[in-house]
Amino acid sequence: MRPYTVIVPVYNGADRIPSLVDELRLRLPGDGEILLADDGSRDETWSVMRTMCDRRIRGIRLDGNHGQQAAILAALTGCPGRDVVTMDDDGSHPPQVLSAMLGMIAAGADLVYADPPRRPGGPVRRSASRIHQLHLNLLTGTPPAIRVGSFRAFTSELAARILEEPWVFPYFSAVALSLRPRPHVRMCPTPPWPAAPTEGRFRAADLLRLEWNLARSFGLGRRYRRRCPAEPIGAVVRRWVADRCGS
């Protein structure tokens, strides 16, 4: 198994991070480390993260609240040459699945998504997720069998390719699945996930805003973007990192 980093974006998670890190410490297979990305939290998240940093745990703090997707991209600049796993900070992603996902990477996959038998959330939230998934499949030309999510593993080579892409809209899966040649993607079946204790109320306006930004950035505007390339993703997100600990 190649060296890898588990990236966990965190926002106002001072009360959640210690228990998640303790569980990950017990379950990290092989040469794994944890990289916590504080996305401009307004509580004591950064102070808590600093107390936990050691040989296998590092942290970065962004200069503001840029969103979960942007925090993940910023964290990628801090682990060059290492395969990556991303997961949420709310305890909904089972760490025991890490070995299976990394095994698929070792077997030749570029990108692996965890695939529970049933996505968490109520009927409205699951329906919204399905609409989002179909839209993303359409924009990127991927088959419906590919179901994206924030619990995923991918190679260091894919991470490097993503950071060299022009900056458009910070959405990891849209960038990764739009690459040509397309990465080799696999789904990793998992046990059912627990309900996320921090799951908020579904807001239709947020979904509409997300789908509009994805369509504008990865749909009809794709050809224009290639003719007029923007600054690379890596250069943009490196500027957002204000502090590091455990480096």
- Local confidence pLDDT in tens for the 247 residues of the chain: 799 999 999 999 999 999 999 999 988 988 899 999 999 999 999 999 999 999 899 999 999 999 999 999 999 999 999 999 999 999 889 999 999 999 999 999 999 999 998 876 777 777 888 999 999 999 999 999 999 999 999 999 999 999 999 998 999 999 999 999 999 999 999 999 887 655 445 577 888 999 999 998 898 656 555 555 679 999 999 999 999 997 6
Domain assignment present for 209: no
What does the angle CA 101 – CA 104 – CA 107 come to, to the nearest 5 degrees?
155
Where are any strands of DSSP class E within the chain? 4-10, 32-38, 57-62, 83-86, 111-115, 152-154, 185-189, 241-245
Which one, of 25, 35, 111, 33, lies nearest residue 78 by Cα? 35
Total domains in the chain come to 1
Indicate whether 221 belongs to any domain: no
The CATH number that applies at residue 34 is 3.90.550.10
Pairing outcome for strands 83-86 and 111-115: unpaired
- The pTM (predicted TM-score) of the whole model is 0.94
Q: Please report whether residue 92 resides in a domain.
A: yes
Residue 69 domain boundaries: 4-120+146-196+233-241
